[in-house]
Structure 1
Amino acid sequence: MDAPFSAWPWDNLGVFKYLLYGPFVANVLYSRFQEKDIKQSWCLHILILCGLRGLFHVLWGSYSNMLFLTRNRRILQQGVDFKQIDSEWDWDNFLILQAVIASIACYMFPFLENLPLWSTRGVIAALILHVCVSEPLYYWVHRKFHGDYLFAHYHSLHHSSPVPQSFTAGNATILEHLVLSIVIGIPILGASMLGYGSASLIYGYVLIFDSLRCLGHCNVEIIPHQLFDTFPFLRYLIYTPTYHSLHHTDKDTNFCLFMPLFDALGNTLNRKSWQLHKKISLNSGKNGRVPDFVFLAHVVDVVSSMHAPFVFRSFASLPFTTRLFLVPCWPFALVSLLAMWIWSKTFLNSSYNLRGRLHQSWAVPRFGFQYFLPFATEGINKQIEHAILRADRIGVKVISLAALNKNESLNGGGTLFVNKHPNLRVRVVHGNTLTAAVILNEIPEDVKEVFLTGATSKLGRAIALYLCRRRVRILMLTLSSERFQNIQKEAPADCQSYLVQVTKYQAAQNCKTWIVGKWITPREQNWAPRGTHFHQFVVPPILSFRRDCTYGDLAAMKLPDDVEGLGCCEYTMDRGVVHACHAGGVIHSLEGWTHHEVGAIDVDRIDLVWKAALKHGLKPLSSNKSIVNCKISE
C-alpha cells in the first residue's frame, strides 16, 4: 500500500485529469456572459498562469534537447530514455494541485481579487520573505526528505530520473508539491497581507520561481564561470545547473532552493561545485565526444518535423501520427524549418549509446517533396556531401544515408560522394543490404511465386536475384526489357528462367505474395487476389486499401536491449525500432567493416549482413521463418 500523500488522486484519470480545470473555465465563461466583467475573474488569472507555467517548462525542455545547440554544454552526456520519459509523463500534476490551492486562497483571502497592477514595496517584501523564510524553510524540509523513510516513500521518485530536465522539476509526489506550494505562497501571501501585493508580483514571482527550478534541472550549463570569477559573492546567491546536478548524483549535498548560501551555512555544499562548473563552462567552446556512427535522416513534411525530441519530448517518444494539437503549431514549424534550411546544412537530432559507442542522428533540413524536384538535386547533394565531409573531418567511422538521401537518381545510392572523394576515412553506407535481408526474411519458405514492383531498382534487383537462386518464380513488373535482361544475365544460368518480365498488373492476379517497391494505387491493388500479403520497401508506404488482404510495414529491426539513452521513435516506427537502412549502418559500425556500402547491393553479402545483425542482438519484427536463414544453394 502506498504511503499517504505519495500518489496523486487523479492518477487513474489519464488525459481526463485536465477536466479538473473545467470549474475554472466555467467560472470564466459565467463571468464573461453573466456578469460582463471577466477581468475580475481570479479563475482567469489562474488558468493563464497555469498555461504560462506549463509553457515555460516545455520551452526549457525543448532547449535542453536541442543537441545541435547544447551538446557541448551538457552536464550529463547520456540521453533521456523511454523509461524516464514515461516516469515523468505526468510532470504537470503540480499545476492542477496549485491551481486548486490558489482558488482556495482566493476564497479565504478576498483581497487577492482586487490587487493593483504593480507595487514596488511588494517586490521588496516578497524578496525579503523569500530569502529569510522560503529559502531556509525549503532547505530544512529538503534535508528531511532525504531521511530514510521520507526518501523511500516520497522523494525517491524525483531522484529516479537519471538525467535531470525541466520536467524532472515537476516530477514529485503530492506531499512534496504541497510543501513546495507553501514555499511559493509565503512571499506572495505575506506581501499581500502587508498591503503590498500586486498582480505583477504574483505572475512575476511564480514564473521566475519556475524558471529557476527549470534552470537547475535543465542539464545544460548556461551560466558562464567568468561571472563568478568577477563577482565571487554571486556564487552563493544563485545556483547553477551544474550545482544542482551534483545533488542528483551526490544526494547528501547541495540541498538549497536557489541560494547556495544555505548549503554553505549548513555545511552541505559540495566542494566540487565551482570546479565542475568552471570545467563545463570552459569546455562549452570545444567539440564534444565524436560519434562512432551517424544516421543522416531528412524531414518528410512540416508536420513530421515536429516529431523531434526538442519540440515535444513526449510526442517524439511515440510512433509518429498526425494529431490535432499539431495544427496550431504548423506555422511555427514551417518558419523554423525555413530558418534551418537557410542557416544550417544539417542539425543534430538525437543520440544514443550502444556497446559503448556513441550513435547520433543528423538531419538534412529538406522536405521530402524537394527530393523529386530536378532543380533541387544539386543543392540537396551539396548538403549531404557537407555532412559526409564533416563526419570525415571530426572522425566519425560510419555514416548511413536514410531513405531519400541515397536515392539512386539523386546520387547513385551514395556512389557520387565516394567517387568524388576517394580518400574518405568515414565509411558511407546506404544500408540496403540489410533492408533486402529483412524483406526476404518476411517471405515464408513455402512461397513459390512472387510479384515484384520496382523490380529494376536497387532493392528490387537484389531481391529478384536472391529469390531466383532459391528457385522462386519472380514476376518482375517493368517496361524496360533492357534493364530486365541485364538483371537476368546476373543470375546463374540455371536460375534465369525463374525471372519473368511482366508489363501489367493483371499478370499477378493469381499471385498472393506481392513485394511492392514502387507506389501502387488502390485500383492497381485490386488485381491482387483475396488473401494477398503486400510486402513493401516503398516510401511512403502504400495505402491499406484492401480489407481482404494484409499489409507489411516498411523494413525495420529492433535495436538490441542494451541500447542506452534512446528516447525518441524513428518516424512511424515503434520504440526501439529503426528502419533497416539505419540498422544496416549500425551493423557496419559494430562489425568494424572498412568498405563503403554504396551503389548496387552485393547479393552474396545478404546472408552475411543478416547473420551479423542477429549476432549483435538486433531482432526482426516478423515472426515468419525466414527464407534467408537457408543457405543459398550453389
Structure 2
Amino acid sequence: MASKPGPLTRWPWEKLGNFKYLLLSPLVIKAVHTNFLGWQEADNFSLVLLLWAATQYLHNQLWISVSRYQNARSKHQIQSKSIHFDQVDRERTWDNYILMYIFIIFLVHAYIPGASNLPLWNTKGFIVNILAHIGPSEFVYYWAHRALHHHFLYNLYHSHHHSSFVTEPITSVVHPFAEHLMYAAIFSMGPLATIFTKTASLGLIFGYLFWFDFMNNMGHCNVEFVPNWAFKIFPPLKFLMYTPSFHSLHHSQVHTNFCLFMPLYDYLYGTADKSSETLYETAWKGRKEKVDLVYLTHTTSLLSFFHLRFGFASFAAKPYSTKWYMWILWPISNAIMIFLWVFGRSFIAEKNRLNDLHLQTWVMPRYTFQYFMPSERARINKLIEDSILEGEKKEVKVINLGLLNQSEELNGGGELFLERHKNLKVRMVDGSTLAAAVVLNSIPSETGEVFMCGGTSKVGSAILCLLSQRGVSIQLLTESREQLDQMKSIVPSQFQHNIIPVSRYQAGKNCKIWIVGRWVSGEEQMKAPKGALFIPFQPFPIPRTRKDCFYYSTPAMRVPANLENVHTCENWLPRRVISAWRVGGMVHAIQGWNHHECGQTINTADINNVWEAALKHGFLPFNMSLTQLQLAS
C-alpha cells in the first residue's frame, strides 16, 4: 500500500479474491453463445477480447520467468539487492489491470461510434497511433508522472509502486486503482485517435496493447537486454527507447528518468539521470560474480517445476502443495519433463548471499520418481558429476548435494564422485551430519523410549548410536538380522542393550516418540498411541493422517535475517525455513572447513560441532519448542 492510501486506492473487486474472475462470466457466456449457440455478434469481439486476455497472461508470465531466470544466472543484472516476500505478496494481484482493460475495451466497443466491426488491419491507423503515442501520450505521461512524485500524491498513491526497489516485470503494473484509471486515459489516446479518424483496426489496437506490455515488462526486468550495437548504429535511439537500466535509476534515485518509454522528454526537461549511460554500459558489459557454494537439488513432482523461482511467483512464495487448478498444467508438465529428460542439464534457479558468502541453487533436470528407476541411475550420476566438474571449473568452494542427489543407493552418498576424482578442490558436502544433529536436538530431553523405523540410513544410524548412548530405549523396526547386526556394530558394546529389535509397527503402540526414516502410511501410523510425536529424519515428509498426533517437519532450520534474496519456499517448507542438509553445506562453507562431508557413514564426533556452528551463525531449528530454543541459544 501507499504511505497514506488515498481515495480509489483499492480495486473495486479486491474483496472478491480469486472469485474476481467470475466478473468475466457474462463475456464468456456471450462468446459461447456467439460461437456455438447461434447468437449474432458481427465481429465476434467477445471471443477476441478473451483471447487477448489469455495472451496477456501468458505474455506476462513469460516475462516473469525469463527475468527471474536471467537474474539468477546472467551477468547483466542491474540491481544486486534482494527481493523479499513482502514484495511478492504486494505484487501477486498484478493481473487486476487486465480485468480493468477488458471492461474498458468492452465499453468502448459497445458505446463509442466507429469502435465496432473493425477490419483486421489499417496502415493509416498505424501511423496515426504512432504519432499520437510519441506526442500526446508520452508528453502527458511524463508530466503526470512528475506530478505523482510530488510528496502529496506520492504518499497517497505512487509510493505503492516505489515500494519495490528491485523491480520485476510485473512491478510495472502494480499501482493503485486510481493511478491505473489515469494511465488508461493517457494510454488510450492513440487507439481513440484511430477510432475518431476511422482508421482503427483490431490488429492495431491489440497489437499496441501487446507492444505496450512488452516495453513495460522489459523496462522493469532488472536485466539489461538492449544490445549496445543498436545505439552505435542509430545514436538517436537513446532518445526514443528506454532501457531497463535507464528505468532502474528511476526506482533507485526516484526523482529522475520519468519517461514512459521515450527518454526524449527527460533530456528536454533536464530530468535524465547523469549516470544513465554509465549504468547501461556497466550492466551491458556485466559483472563476474564469484560462487562459493552450490546447492544441487532436483524437482520433486511433475507440477513442482512451477514452484521454482522462475515459475509462478506467488505459488513459489508458499510451501509447495498440489492445488486442484494446477492440474490444467499437467500436459505442459509432461512436455517439460520429456524435454528435460532428453536435453536437460543442471540449471541455476536462484542465488542468495549470506554476508560475504555467495550461494547458488542448481536444479537437476530430473524428478523424484526418476531417481528410483534403475535405468536412470547412470544418467543421473553423469549429470551430477558434470555439475561437480562445472563447479570445480568455476572455483566453487562447496558442492552441497541435496535431496536424492546424495542417495546411498545412487552414488554412495556422493562417495562415487570422490573415487572418480581424487584431486577435487571443491569440497563435497551432503549435510547429513547437521540433519542428524537437528533430529537429535529436537527430541525432548526427558524421552526414555522411542520407536524407530528406517534406521539403516546413515542419518538413522547416527541418531541410533547417540540416542542409545543417552540411555534411551530404542525399539528398532527391522526384519533383517544382518541389518540389526550392522546397526549394533556402530554402537559401543555397553549401550547395545538399549536397542530392542521389533518386526511390526504394533510394537510402537505405547511409544510417544516415533522417529521415522521412511514412508509411513496412514494405516501404519494408526499403530501409534494418541498424542504421539512423529519426527522424520528423511528429506521427504510423511503424510499427516492423524489429527490426534503431532508431526514435525523434515529436518530443517530457520535462516538468519542476513540471508538475502529469500522470496521462495524450499519445497514444502514454510517461508525462510530450509532443509538441514542445505544448512549443513552453508555452515561448511562459512566455517571454511577443508574436508569432504559425504559417503555412507557419519562421524558422530562431528555432530555437536556442526550443531553449535549452525547456531553460532544464526540458524535456528524449525521443529523446536520455545523452551528448547531458549535452552539451545
TM-score category of the 2 structures, normalised to the smaller one: over 0.9
Residue 604 of structure 2 is matched in structure 1 by 603
- Give how far 1:616 is off: 1.6
Alpha-carbon spacing, 1:99–1:53, altered in 2? closer, same or farther (3 Å) = same
Alpha-carbon spacing, 1:451–1:46, altered in 2? closer, same or farther (3 Å) = same
Q: Are 2:299 and 1:299 aligned?
A: yes
What is the rounded CA distance, in whole Å, between the counterparts of 1:265 and 1:70 in structure 2? 37
Whether the 8 Å contact between 1:64 and 1:220 is mirrored in structure 2 is yes
Letter of the 1:142 counterpart: H
- Give how far 1:38 is off: 4.3
What is the rounded CA distance, in whole Å, between the counterparts of 1:547 and 1:240 in structure 2? 55
Alpha-carbon spacing, 1:30–1:538, altered in 2? closer, same or farther (3 Å) = same
Identity %: 39
What is the rounded CA distance, in whole Å, between the counterparts of 2:222 and 2:499 in structure 1? 58
Residue 269 of structure 1 is matched in structure 2 by 272
Higher alpha-carbon deviation: 438-447 or 44-53? 44-53
Residue 613 of structure 1 is matched in structure 2 by 614
Higher alpha-carbon deviation: 463-472 or 225-234? 225-234
Aligned partner of 1:251 among 254, 258, 283: 254
Q: In the comparison of the two structures, how many residue pairs are matched?
A: 628
What is the rounded CA distance, in whole Å, between the counterparts of 1:292 and 1:399 in structure 2? 9
Map residues 178-197 of structure 1 onto 2, 5 A cutoff: 178-197=181-200
- Give how far 1:342 is off: 3.1
SS in 2 for 1:353: strand
Map residues 223-238 of structure 1 onto 2, 5 A cutoff: 223-238=226-241
Map residues 541-560 of structure 1 onto 2, 5 A cutoff: 541-560=541-560
Alpha-carbon spacing, 1:544–1:411, altered in 2? closer, same or farther (3 Å) = same
Map residues 159-558 of structure 1 onto 2, 5 A cutoff: 159-283=162-286, 288-538=288-538, 540-558=540-558
- Give how far 1:170 is off: 0.5
Residues 364-398 of structure 1 deviation map (CA, whole Å, 9 limit, x = unaligned)? 11121221222322211111111112112212222
Q: Are 2:77 and 1:74 aligned?
A: yes
What is the rounded CA distance, in whole Å, between the counterparts of 1:628 and 1:430 in structure 2? 28
SS in 1 for 2:564: coil
What is the rounded CA distance, in whole Å, between the counterparts of 2:198 and 2:514 in structure 1? 78
SS in 1 for 2:563: coil
Higher alpha-carbon deviation: 354-363 or 103-112? 103-112
Whether the 8 Å contact between 2:63 and 2:217 is mirrored in structure 1 is yes
Alpha-carbon spacing, 1:433–1:539, altered in 2? closer, same or farther (3 Å) = closer
What is the rounded CA distance, in whole Å, between the counterparts of 1:390 and 1:26 in structure 2? 54
Aligned partner of 1:46 among 46, 49, 65: 49
Residues 45-100 of structure 1 deviation map (CA, whole Å, 9 limit, x = unaligned)? 33333332232221111110114885222212334321111111222222222233
What is the rounded CA distance, in whole Å, between the counterparts of 1:63 and 1:273 in structure 2? 24
Whether the 8 Å contact between 2:620 and 2:629 is mirrored in structure 1 is no
Residues 548-607 of structure 1 deviation map (CA, whole Å, 9 limit, x = unaligned)? 433332111111122221111111111111111111112222222222111211212222
Normalized against structure 1, the TM-score is what?
0.94
SS in 1 for 2:582: helix
- Give how far 1:26 is off: 4.1
Letter of the 1:122 counterpart: G
What is the rounded CA distance, in whole Å, between the counterparts of 2:628 and 2:270 in structure 1? 64
Alpha-carbon spacing, 1:375–1:257, altered in 2? closer, same or farther (3 Å) = same
Letter of the 1:530 counterpart: K
- Give how far 1:547 is off: 4.1
Residues 319-339 of structure 1 deviation map (CA, whole Å, 9 limit, x = unaligned)? 111123322222223323333
Q: Are 2:135 and 1:119 aligned?
A: no
Normalized against structure 2, the TM-score is what?
0.94
What is the Cα-based RMSD across aligned positions, in Å? 2.3
Whether the 8 Å contact between 2:129 and 2:191 is mirrored in structure 1 is yes
What is the rounded CA distance, in whole Å, between the counterparts of 1:34 and 1:495 in structure 2? 80
Residue 16 of structure 1 is matched in structure 2 by 19
Residue 96 of structure 2 is matched in structure 1 by 93
Residue 103 of structure 1 is matched in structure 2 by 106
Letter of the 1:439 counterpart: V
Whether the 8 Å contact between 1:73 and 1:280 is mirrored in structure 2 is yes
- Give how far 1:452 is off: 1.2
- Give how far 1:346 is off: 0.5
What is the rounded CA distance, in whole Å, between the counterparts of 1:420 and 1:50 in structure 2? 54
- Give how far 1:425 is off: 2.1
Residue 28 of structure 1 is matched in structure 2 by 31
Alpha-carbon spacing, 1:323–1:85, altered in 2? closer, same or farther (3 Å) = same
Whether the 8 Å contact between 1:27 and 1:41 is mirrored in structure 2 is no
What is the rounded CA distance, in whole Å, between the counterparts of 1:80 and 1:219 in structure 2? 11
What is the rounded CA distance, in whole Å, between the counterparts of 1:289 and 1:180 in structure 2? 39
SS in 1 for 2:350: strand
Whether the 8 Å contact between 2:340 and 2:366 is mirrored in structure 1 is no
Residues 376-425 of structure 1 deviation map (CA, whole Å, 9 limit, x = unaligned)? 22211111111112112212222211121001111111122223323222
Letter of the 2:97 counterpart: F
SS in 2 for 1:65: helix
- Give how far 1:472 is off: 0.3
Q: Are 2:593 and 1:593 aligned?
A: yes
What is the rounded CA distance, in whole Å, between the counterparts of 1:521 and 1:15 in structure 2? 34
SS in 1 for 2:501: strand
Higher alpha-carbon deviation: 376-385 or 546-555? 546-555
Whether the 8 Å contact between 1:299 and 1:366 is mirrored in structure 2 is yes
Whether the 8 Å contact between 1:84 and 1:162 is mirrored in structure 2 is no
What is the rounded CA distance, in whole Å, between the counterparts of 2:328 and 2:629 in structure 1? 48
SS in 1 for 2:261: coil
Higher alpha-carbon deviation: 96-105 or 245-254? 96-105
- Give how far 1:103 is off: 3.0
SS in 1 for 2:133: helix
**5+ residue gaps, structure 2:** none
- Give how far 1:214 is off: 0.8
Alpha-carbon spacing, 1:401–1:628, altered in 2? closer, same or farther (3 Å) = farther
SS in 1 for 2:116: helix
Alpha-carbon spacing, 1:463–1:70, altered in 2? closer, same or farther (3 Å) = closer
Letter of the 2:407 counterpart: N
Whether the 8 Å contact between 1:242 and 1:277 is mirrored in structure 2 is yes
Higher alpha-carbon deviation: 389-398 or 211-220? 389-398
Higher alpha-carbon deviation: 434-443 or 489-498? 489-498
SS in 2 for 1:358: strand
What is the rounded CA distance, in whole Å, between the counterparts of 1:494 and 1:628 in structure 2? 33
Higher alpha-carbon deviation: 266-275 or 82-91? 266-275
SS in 1 for 2:510: coil
What is the rounded CA distance, in whole Å, between the counterparts of 1:163 and 1:237 in structure 2? 24
Alpha-carbon spacing, 1:536–1:70, altered in 2? closer, same or farther (3 Å) = closer
Higher alpha-carbon deviation: 223-232 or 481-490? 481-490
Q: Are 2:40 and 1:55 aligned?
A: no
